[in-house]
């Protein structure tokens, strides 16, 4: 069965994951339906010749559980799927395997997978400018290879371990500074509803997943992570996310 339409499901609080998703979409040569998992997702019924591509960011070696939860509303019946993890030049650890396992548990056959690099959303100088032109070229070729291999394609193997690396929720979260004008833009755009509309200067730390969308979009540029945490992660990444990593393709 040939693929006529791709459902492109992405979770991209600060835009890097979406850039990778768009670069792959350009090479597919079919209709593409965009599904933004950073908003609430309604059930989505697939047609016979649909396929699903899940493009998710790596957080601490895993993918955000809220993204998988929203993705789980889409059920396959042997439909083909592709798993893509996007990471900030440290490692993707178990994020790609977790995405592939989730798709298979939902009834999909995962025929291809990839890990791409995007700017690190916490320390934006890490992998700055990624995905770059070379990444986009690889993304388009990846799409062309998927479309070429779709007939009778076998399930794909990806790196990673089970059990997956333990999640370690951060004790530090963004909060607003004195320049906050209570405009509510952050509250309206938080993917998990962690910013109270009545008090947008604060953050519900139990809900916050540190995606940093609020920091990126605040018009007053007054939301930020605590400085000691930023200093710690900047030093950690200087060591662990150094050098130019290339996308990894699994076909
Ligand atoms: C909370 C959090 C944890 C992250 N953990 C990792 C990680 O384990 N490895 C890595 O290479 N990048 C990591 N990153 C970087 C993101 O994977 C990367 O910047 C991704 O492109 C962010 O997606 P977005 O731009 O679509 O929001 C992390 C980012 C955040 C916000
Ligand atoms: S977006 Fe910025 S200025 Fe607006 S409510 Fe949020 S923290 Fe305050
Ligand atoms: S409050 Fe937390 S989860 Fe919400 S946008 Fe900000 S960083 Fe992301």
Establish if 26 belongs to a structural domain.
yes
Same domain for 158 and 185: no
Q: Does a structural domain hold residue 233?
A: no
Torsion-angle region of 142 (φ positive above 0: left; ψ -120 to 50: alpha; else: beta): alpha
122 ligand 3 Cβ < 6 A: no
Q: Is the same domain home to 152 and 193?
A: no
- The alpha carbon of 199 and the centre of ligand 2 are apart by a number of angstroms equal to 10
Neighbours of 1 (CB within 10 A): 11
Q: Indicate whether 235 belongs to any domain.
A: no
- Rounded to the nearest whole angstrom, what is the distance from the C-alpha of residue 43 to the centroid of ligand 1? 27
- If one residue of 176, 195, 215 were mutated to test the ligand 2 pocket, choosing by the most ligand atoms within 8 A of its CB, it would be 176
The residue whose two tokens read 């791409």 is 116
Residue 168 lies in a domain: no
Nearest bound ligand to the CA of residue 16: 1
| Confidence class for position 155, pLDDT limits 50, 70, 90 | confident
- Percent of residues, the chain, with pLDDT higher than 70: 99
Q: Is the pLDDT of residue 214 over 80?
A: yes
Token digits of residue 156: 């794909």
How far apart are alpha carbons 211 and 15 in whole angstroms? 11
pLDDT-derived band at 124 (thresholds 50, 70, 90) equals: very high
Q: Give pairs for 186-192: CB < 8 Å, separation 24+.
A: 186/213, 186/214, 186/217, 186/218, 186/223, 189/213, 189/214, 189/217, 190/214, 191/11, 191/13, 191/38, 191/39, 191/66, 192/66
208 shares its domain with 100: no
**Do 217 and 187 fall within a single domain?**
yes
The ligand 1 atom at the shortest distance from the C-alpha of residue 90 is 11
Residues 25 and 140 both lie in one domain: yes
Q: Is the CB of 118 under 6 A from ligand 3?
A: no
The C-alpha atoms of residue 121 and residue 88 are separated, in whole angstroms, by: 7
- The total domain count for the chain is 2
Q: Based on the fold, state whether residues 43 and 98 are members of the same structural domain.
A: yes
Q: Whole-model pTM? A: 0.98
Does residue 229 sit within a domain?
no
Domain identity same for 113 and 59? yes
Q: Return the ligand 3 atom nearest residue 203 CA.
A: 1
Shared domain check, 202 and 152: no
Whether the per-residue pLDDT at 182 is higher than 80: the answer is: yes
Q: Are residues 124 and 197 in the same domain?
A: no
Phi-psi region of 15 (alpha: psi -120 to 50; beta: other; left: phi over 0): left
> Left if phi > 0, otherwise alpha if psi is -120 to 50, otherwise beta: which for 155?
beta
CATH number at residue 216: 3.30.70.20
For residue 232, tell me if it sits in a domain: no
Domain residues for the domain of 126 are: 5-163+245-250
Q: Is the CB of 51 under 6 A from ligand 2?
A: no
β-strand partners of 31 = 5
Same domain, 154 and 216: no
Q: Considering only CA atoms, which of 23, 241, 17 is closest in space to residue 143? A: 23
pLDDT over 80 at 241, yes or no: yes
pLDDT band of residue 204 (cuts 50, 70, 90) is very high
The answer to whether residue 238 sits within a structural domain is no
> How many whole angstroms separate alpha carbon 232 and alpha carbon 239?
11
Per-residue confidence (pLDDT) for residue 1, from 0 to 100: 67
Residues 100 and 220 in one domain: no
Do 195 and 158 share a structural domain?
Answer: no
Best residue among 189, 216, 218 to mutate for probing ligand 2, ranked by most atoms within 8 Å of CB: 218
Q: Is the residue at 169 inside a domain?
A: no
**CATH (domain of 148):** 3.40.50.360
Give the SS3 label for residue 34: strand
* Whether pLDDT at 184 is above 80: yes
Q: Which atom, in ligand 3's list, is nearest to the CA of 207? A: 3
pLDDT at 18 over 90: yes
Q: From atom 3 of ligand 1, which residue's Cα is the shortest distance away?
A: 59
Identify which of 182, 190, 198 to mutate to test ligand 2's pocket (most ligand atoms within 8 A of the CB): 182
**Average pLDDT of the segment spanning 101-124:** 97
At 53-81, the pLDDT tens digits run 999 999 999 999 999 999 999 999 999 99
């Amino acid at each position: 069965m040939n693929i006529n339409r791709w459902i492109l499901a992405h979770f991209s609080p600060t835009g890097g994951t979406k850039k990778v998703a768009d670069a792959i979409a350009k090479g597919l040569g079919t209709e593409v339906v965009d599904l933004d998992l950073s908003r609430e997702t309604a059930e989505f019924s697939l047609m016979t010749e649909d396929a699903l591509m899940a493009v998710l960011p790596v957080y601490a070696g895993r993918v955000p559980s809220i993204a998988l939860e929203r993705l789980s509303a889409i059920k396959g019946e042997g439909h083909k799927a592709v798993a893509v993890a996007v990471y900030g030049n440290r490692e993707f650890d178990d994020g790609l395997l977790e995405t592939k396992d989730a798709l298979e548990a939902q009834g999909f056959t995962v025929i291809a997978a990839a890990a791409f690099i995007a700017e690190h959303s916490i320390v934006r100088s890490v992998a700055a400018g990624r995905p770059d032109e070379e990444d986009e070229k690889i993304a388009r070729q990846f799409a062309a290879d998927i479309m070429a291999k779709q007939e009778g394609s076998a399930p794909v193997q990806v790196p990673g371990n089970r059990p997956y690396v333990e999640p370690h929720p951060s004790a530090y979260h963004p909060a607003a500074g004195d320049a906050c004008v209570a405009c509510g833009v952050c509250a309206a755009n938080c993917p998990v509803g962690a910013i109270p509309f009545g008090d947008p200067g604060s953050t519900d730390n139990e809900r916050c997943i540190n995606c940093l969308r609020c920091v990126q979009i605040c018009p007053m540029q007054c939301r930020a992570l605590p400085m000691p945490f930023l200093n710690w992660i900047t030093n950690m990444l200087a060591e662990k996310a150094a050098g130019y990593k290339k996308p990894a393709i699994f076909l």
